[in-house]
Amino acid sequence: MSRYFTEKYASLTPYTPGEQPRDMQYIKLNTNESPYAPAARVTRAAAEESGRLQLYSDPECVELRAQLAKVYGVRPEQILMTNGSDEVLNFAFMAFADERHPMAFADITYGFYSVFAELNHIPYTEIPLKEDYSIDPADYIGLGKMIVIANPNAPTGLCLPLADIEKIVQSNPDHVVIVDEAYVDFGCDSAVGLIREYPNLLVIQTASKSRSLAGLRVGWALGNEDLIAALRCVRDSINSYTVDRVAQAAAAAAIRDKAYFEKTRLAIMDTREKTLERLVALGFQTAPSKANFLFARHSSLPGKEIFQALRERGILVRRWDLPRIQDHLRISIGTNEEMTTLCTALEDILKR
Ligand SMILES: *Cc1c(COP(=O)(O)O)cnc(C)c1O
């Protein structure tokens, strides 16, 4: 590392994204991307807008926020658009926590939370998931810290009922509670309906998963006007144009296309259920997921071996070398054909 790198950042361990290999064609079930390309009208909107790239983008994302406001029954002032939801997560950590306002999140959850906490020098507590990898809401009731919960959680896919989310938000009135809903469209109830009632609730969503737009980088936060104004203050102190013209146009087209959204998310949920059944039949242990992935392990083979054997067969999944979950694989839901290929490969691997 450069000797010029400041002490403030030199000890950071950055987030490790899932592989995007170029050496060969893989069946990519490792980064929870949608197996379905965006609709033709979305790529057309992107192409059209690219003819206006000499102009700055709209920093307020007026059109996009109007679309989302309609979908969620909120006001545009209750929405902030960002460059993927990772960006707004960081803004929220910057805006609502610091050395004197610590944070809490699960020990097994989205890896970026601890990275953003370290980056911003925010002390944090990792609250262990229960033995069955579910979140115990009691751990968060009246905690008196800023809280971030992925719902459904990643990489477990487990969903916390809305009533539990509400209790957590209600019992921590002096701290912001972030509900990261990256996967909410695959079968979990959104907390968006609660933002009017709770000024400390911030809901974060993304176009990356259920809208087939991971490569576009569009995410957003929904919350009380004052929370959103604070986030905008942070954003405008860094970069007002984090959502570019092409991204705004394409994302607005995707939000407008309700039929395609419904079709693809239902297809993914359907494939998920079929895959779950097949994995269970192969002897995998897995819990019912409400996300576009399954989190599974097999008692007869270490996760590392299954991971490697799949890789050799051209199938990528995700795995972490962490104590509690080292034998688990997180398998993104692809097309029906891809999942059939996966199951056939697993059957073959387990036979040896
Ligand atoms: C994928 C993901 C995100 C971020 O996605 P963006 O592409 O940055 O919008 C946020 N939270 C969780 C839990 C995720 O899995």
For the Cβ of 115 lying below 6 angstroms from any atom of ligand 1, the answer is no
pTM of this structure: 0.97
pLDDT in tens, 148-189: 999 999 999 999 999 999 999 999 999 999 999 999 999 999
Q: For 308-346, how does the pLDDT look when each residue is reduced to its tens digit (9 = 90+)?
A: 999 999 999 999 999 899 999 999 999 999 999 999 999
DSSP string, 105-157: EESSS-THHHHHHHHTT--EEEEPPPTTS---GGGTTT--SEEEEESS-TTT-
Judge if the beta carbon of residue 129 lies within 6 A of ligand 1.
Answer: no
The two tokens of residue 189 are 């109830």
In the block, tokens 């989310």 appear at 165
Cα–Cα distance between 188 and 49 in angstroms, integer? 34
pLDDT in tens, 96-154: 999 999 999 999 999 999 999 999 999 999 999 999 999 999 999 999 999 999 999 99
For the Cβ of 108 lying below 6 angstroms from any atom of ligand 1, the answer is no
CB of residue 253 inside a 6 A radius of ligand 1: no
Q: How confident is the model at residue 18, as a pLDDT?
A: 81
Residue nearest to atom 14 of ligand 1 (CA): 182
* pLDDT reported for residue 250: 98
Q: What percent of the chain has pLDDT over 90?
A: 95
* Ligand 1 nearest atom to the CA of residue 87, by list position: 8
Q: Look at the block and give the residue holding tokens 């950055």.
A: 14
My answer on whether omega of the bond before 155 falls inside 30° of 0, hence cis, is yes
267 lines ligand 1 (CB under 6 A): no
